[in-house]
Amino acid sequence: MILVLKASATAREIAAICDRIRSLGFAPAVGSAAERVVVSFVGAGPAIEPDLFSALPGVDKILPLRPAYRLASRAAHPADTVIRVGDATIGGGNVAFMAGPCSVENRAQTLEVADALAGLGVKILRGGAFKPRTSPYSFQGLHESGLEILAAVRERTGMAIITEVLAVADVPLVAAYADILQIGTRNMQNYPLLAAVGAQARPVLLKRGMSATVEEWLLAAEYILSQGNGNVMLCERGIRSFDKATRGVFDVSAIPLLKKLTHLPVIGDPSHATGHWDLVAPVAKAAVAAGADGLIIEVHAHPDQALSDGAQSLRPARVAALLTDLRRLTAALDRGLDVRDMGLRLAERSVASAA
Ligand code: PEP
Ligand code: MN
């Protein structure tokens, strides 16, 4: 960290700033640049919060030299974080593929879509049992009985399960059933919830807050990491804009930016970003082309009957076509698509027979 002092800073103020730096275990180094006094910290002391200096008389600007998200930063941990869940691998060059309904609505609906996805080789099933709905009158999810359905589907198909946890009190329950815990966009800055999922062992998919900056998002990940859970992935799911033509704006540039800033895997969610099923596949491919480590996509066997997010849900046959395209795309990029091989052959067959 470097402090740039005000042009008006007095010798007494500079001395007080230097005393504060010494009290933290560093030696102050006073110099000048662009007609300003600048003070840097020499030595290896503890990490320092800029706030400790922001109100000191004479301080104009604080220039951090290291990002505040120490554990999430690529500088602190150059190698990619690789997360293994069941027989799926997330991060480290592969493209992971998670798919399933927005909500677990009932056993038959979940089994139908899960069987179709398992047949396509999908290794990770998504499905919400605790739903964060904008209106309190909308379907809120089946809660524990939804988790029981997901566990039964895992038993039957071998797929790993990702599902959202909404509240601190539900963390032990959801972690008892799920393989990956999802933190939704509305909870990205629910710090007690982040700490709670950081203190348990399941991997966490952290969605970007719909109005969160990349730095706020990485600091939210830092809350989880700092509790000891290193298995965190970041999910771009669209941010708010002035334009209502699509549900959100998929921030494709955030993907290569995050790959530079952090070692954590980055997942694209084109379903919530676009809100329209026919925009999902092109944006999914854009995410992979931009370097995403995986995708999470909403799928329903009967989107017209879905209790939530039917308009953005793909039918399984469209997933088959998407997987075929993704196999070509990942091969061109020299990457692997983490879907069971048998499923890829089935996907190709069903595309061929639909053509
Ligand atoms: C979801 O995944 O169904 C969901 C509610 O997502 P988000 O938090 O991105 O809105
Ligand atoms: Mn949804």
Look at residue 38 and tell me if it is in a domain. Answer: yes
Pair (259, 199) in one structural domain: yes
Confidence at residue 350, expressed as pLDDT on a 0 to 100 scale: 63
CATH number, domain with residue 17: 3.30.70.1140
Pair (103, 141) in one structural domain: yes
Residue type, 261: L
Q: Ligand 2 center to residue 298 CA distance, Å?
A: 7
The residue whose C-alpha atom lies closest to atom 10 belonging to ligand 1 is 185
Confidence at residue 249, expressed as pLDDT on a 0 to 100 scale: 98
Instruction: Among the bound ligands, name the one nearest to the CA of residue 126.
Output: 1
Domain boundary among 10, 31, 63: 63
The residues, any chain, with a CB within 8 Å of residue 258's CB and separated by 6 or more, are 214, 218, 234, 236, 264, 266
Look at residue 70 and tell me if it is in a domain. Answer: no
Unique residue bearing structure tokens 């966490």:
204
Pair (31, 173) in one structural domain: no
Look at residue 200 and tell me if it is in a domain. Answer: yes
- Mutating to test ligand 1, I would choose from 103, 163, 165, 272 the residue with most ligand atoms within 8 A of its C-beta, which is 272
Q: How far apart are CA 233 and CA 57, in angstroms?
A: 41
Q: Ligand 2 center to residue 170 CA distance, Å?
A: 19
128, exposed or middle or buried, with CB in 10 Å at 0-12, 13-18, 19+? Answer: buried
Pair (18, 103) in one structural domain: no
Look at residue 260 and tell me if it is in a domain. Answer: yes
Residues with C-beta less than 6 Å from any ligand 1 atom = 102, 128, 132, 184-185, 207, 237, 272
DSSP alpha helix (H) spans, the chain: 11-23, 51-54, 107-119, 144-157, 171-177, 191-198, 214-225, 254-261, 270-274, 277-289, 316-332, 341-354
Instruction: Among the bound ligands, name the one nearest to the CA of residue 188.
Output: 1
Question: Domain range holding 296?
Answer: 83-354
CB 24 within 8 Å of CB 46: yes
- Within the chain, which residues score under 50 in pLDDT? none
Confidence at residue 44, expressed as pLDDT on a 0 to 100 scale: 84
Pair (252, 134) in one structural domain: yes
Pair (47, 109) in one structural domain: no
Pair (113, 28) in one structural domain: no
Confidence at residue 47, expressed as pLDDT on a 0 to 100 scale: 83
Look at residue 75 and tell me if it is in a domain. Answer: no
The residue whose C-alpha atom lies closest to atom 1 belonging to ligand 1 is 102
For residue 245, which phi and psi values (nearest 5 degrees)?
-65, -35
CATH number, domain with residue 279: 3.20.20.70
Ligand 1: nearest atom to the Cα of 235: 9
For residue 183, which phi and psi values (nearest 5 degrees)?
-105, 120
Question: How many domains are contained in the chain?
Answer: 2
Pair (32, 153) in one structural domain: no
Which 3 state secondary structure label does DSSP give 165? coil
Pair (247, 339) in one structural domain: yes
Look at residue 78 and tell me if it is in a domain. Answer: no
Look at residue 69 and tell me if it is in a domain. Answer: no
Ligand 1: nearest atom to the Cα of 208: 9
Pair (221, 282) in one structural domain: yes
Ligand 1: nearest atom to the Cα of 131: 5
Instruction: Among the bound ligands, name the one nearest to the CA of residue 205.
Output: 1
Q: How far apart are CA 120 and CA 295, in angstroms?
A: 15
Pair (57, 156) in one structural domain: no
Pair (99, 54) in one structural domain: no
Look at residue 132 and tell me if it is in a domain. Answer: yes
